[in-house]
Chain A
Amino acid sequence: MSVSNEDYAAMTNRAAPPSPLALDCLKAFLVGGSVCCFAQGVTEALVLLRLSREDAKLLAMMTLIVLTAILTAAGVFDRLAKHAGAGLAVPITGFANSVVSPALEFKSEGYILGTAAQMFSIAGPVIVFGCSSASLYGLIYFFLAGRR
């Protein structure tokens, strides 16, 4: 029997396991969503305990960072992140892990040149570009708001 290219593509699509991209995205969605949902839950719980919403949000973020630090030190975070991909890298957990993980890894090179210096190997660029662009925005905002 003759099979056209299109039919063949459709057949292999049906037979092939779901692409790694689809599976990766599903895992990232579920894990990332859960992390955000957890933070929202902590926020709501703290608001119920009569904290201001601003404080509750900050404390929820701090909870994620401290949990990440503990899980990273215990070696659990890396194993989870291997499966979750962007699900753990994109939330603040990824930022916290990028600070804690090199701090631990380079401890053998001393606290100054190891832990402290390497702590910012990834967080540094994030802070440099984030804060610089925010500063630039502040400058633009100043002149736009001034003209009004």
Chain B
Amino acid sequence: MSIVLTLCKAFLVGGLLCVIGQVLIDKTNLTPAKILVLYVLAGVVLGAVGVYAPLAEFAGAGATVPLTGFGFNLAKSTAEAVNERGLWGALEGPLSAASVGVMTAVLSALIVSVFARSKDK
């Protein structure tokens, strides 16, 4: 029962974050690339001011899977790194927070492009 509720919350919040992105795509002339940058920045800012942590607590993957969650994770992990390592954390935190996501994407892109046939343009 609690799992069903958790899934529903993830669905609702994740869906709503996507609807905001869709409105931005349809109503402004922002390209999806700019919206990705905007979402990550929004996540960093919302994480920094402490708004996003309660949302992530509430919605789980619904808040962490959209790119705002990526930004939130950057901010949260950087603050933790600063707690542990002082000012070094401000330099070490961001990239190590991004590392798992970025490396998974890079490695799968490499593997896929080695095995896939080059597309005819």
Contact = CB atoms under 8 A, between A and B. Distances in A.
A51 interface: no
Contact of A36 (B11, B21, B70, B118): B11
A104 B64 CA distance: 27
A146 B3 CA distance: 40
Given A96-B105, A130-B74, 5 more contacts: A86-B32, A103-B113, A108-B119, A131-B74, A142-B90
B105 A29 contact: no
A33 B104 contact: no
Interface string B1-27: 001001110111111111111111111
B53 interface: no
B108 A96 contact: yes
5 contacts: A64-B65, A66-B104, A98-B33, A103-B109, A138-B82
Given A65-B101, A90-B39, A99-B109, A30 B15 contact: yes
Contacts of B83: 145
Interface residues of A, number: 73
B110 A40 contact: no
Contacts of A24: 22, 25-26
Contacts of B22: 21, 24-25, 27-29, 85-87
A137 B14 contact: no
Given A61-B65, A95-B67, A137-B48, A32 B105 contact: no
B21 A130 contact: no
A134 interface: yes
B15 A134 contact: no
B51 interface: no
Contacts of B105: 65, 69, 95-96, 99-100, 123
A92 interface: yes
Query: Which of A43, A69, A86 has the most chain B CB atoms inside 10 A of its CB?
Result: A86
A21 B16 CA distance: 14
Contacts of B13: 36
A125 B8 CA distance: 32
Nearest to B100: A58
